[in-house]
């Protein structure tokens, strides 16, 4: 874990120069969740996000009190870590089955599109029955559950990390209507997209 995203990006470059594979040999995580740095790093960089906006409000409150009372109540503002934004640099799979790992990576890389179990099977050298059996053996659940889990996680990230309207998210992800996305997301998470976004905005 690096102290910030810029330093983590430098570490990623050093790993590349020394032919150390990320995340297979070294998992890497930064801090600040600077989206430009994180997305331009190869592989994309996982990072700890901070509640910077709340820190700004707290600083403004301290400044307001200082201007009125001519005395600051504190000399520092603590900004809390809000969440981990997972990207490819920590996308390591500790599974001793190359075909299952290949399938999971395909699912994660395709979470922006509507994919079927058949699409996942085609990314491997196995039959659907064999791959599904290995999924249950290694992960404890079938292929379809993993597809739905990763897709719901991607929708959740879009709801929290972007200001896109829910209707736009539904269109971008290939849903016919916003209500189709809402039904899927509620089935997977127990919450509507609107309620999930509101909860995380409050936090």
82-133 pLDDT tens trace: 788 888 888 767 678 889 988 988 998 888 888 999 999 999 999 999 999 9
Q: In which band, very low, low, confident or very high, does the pLDDT at 73 lie, cut at 50, 70 and 90?
A: low
Mean pLDDT for the chain overall: 88
Q: What is the DSSP track for 130-150?
A: HHHHHHHHHHSS-HHHHHHHH
In the predicted model, is pLDDT for residue 173 greater than 70?
Answer: yes
What is the average pLDDT across 164-189?
Answer: 93
- Span 23-66, pLDDT tens digits: 878 889 999 999 889 988 888 899 998 877 777 888 888 888 88
In the predicted structure, residue 72 carries a pLDDT above the cut 70? no
Q: Is the pLDDT of residue 201 over 80?
A: no
In the predicted model, is pLDDT for residue 144 greater than 80?
yes
Instruction: Indicate whether 170 pLDDT > 80.
Output: yes
What single DSSP character describes residue 88? G
Domains assigned to the chain: 1-92 (3.40.50.2300), 98-202 (1.10.10.60)
Residue 157 has pLDDT above 70, yes or no: yes
Which pTM value belongs to this model?
Answer: 0.64
Percentage of the chain lying above the pLDDT 90 cut: 47
How far apart CA 200 and CA 158 sit, in angstroms, is 12
d(Cα 17, Cα 14) in Å, to the nearest integer?
Answer: 5
Of residues 22 and 4, more confidence is placed in: 4
- Distance of alpha carbon 33 from alpha carbon 99, whole angstroms: 32
């Amino acid at each position: 874990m690096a102290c910030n995203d810029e330093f983590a990006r430098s570490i990623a470059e050093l790993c590349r120069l020394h032919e150390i594979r990320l995340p297979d040999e070294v998992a890497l995580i930064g801090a600040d969740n600077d989206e430009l740095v994180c997305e331009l790093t190869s592989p994309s960089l996982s990072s700890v996000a901070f509640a910077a906006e709340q820190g700004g409000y707290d600083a403004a409150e301290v400044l307001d009190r200082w201007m009125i009372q001519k005395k600051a109540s504190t000399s520092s503002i603590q900004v809390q870590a809000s969440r981990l934004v997972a990207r490819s640099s920590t996308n390591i799979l500790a599974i001793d089955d190359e075909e299952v790992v290949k399938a999971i990576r395909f699912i994660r890389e395709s979470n922006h599109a509507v994919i079927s179990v058949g699409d996942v099977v085609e990314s491997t050298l196995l039959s659907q029955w064999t791959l599904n059996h290995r999924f249950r053996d290694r992960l404890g659940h079938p292929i379809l559950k993993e597809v739905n889990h990763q897709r719901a996680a991607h929708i959740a990230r879009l709801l929290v990390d972007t200001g896109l309207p829910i209707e736009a998210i539904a269109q971008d992800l290939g849903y016919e209507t916003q209500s189709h996305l809402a039904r899927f997301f509620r089935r997977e998470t127990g919450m509507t997209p609107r309620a999930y976004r509101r909860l995380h905005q409050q936090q």
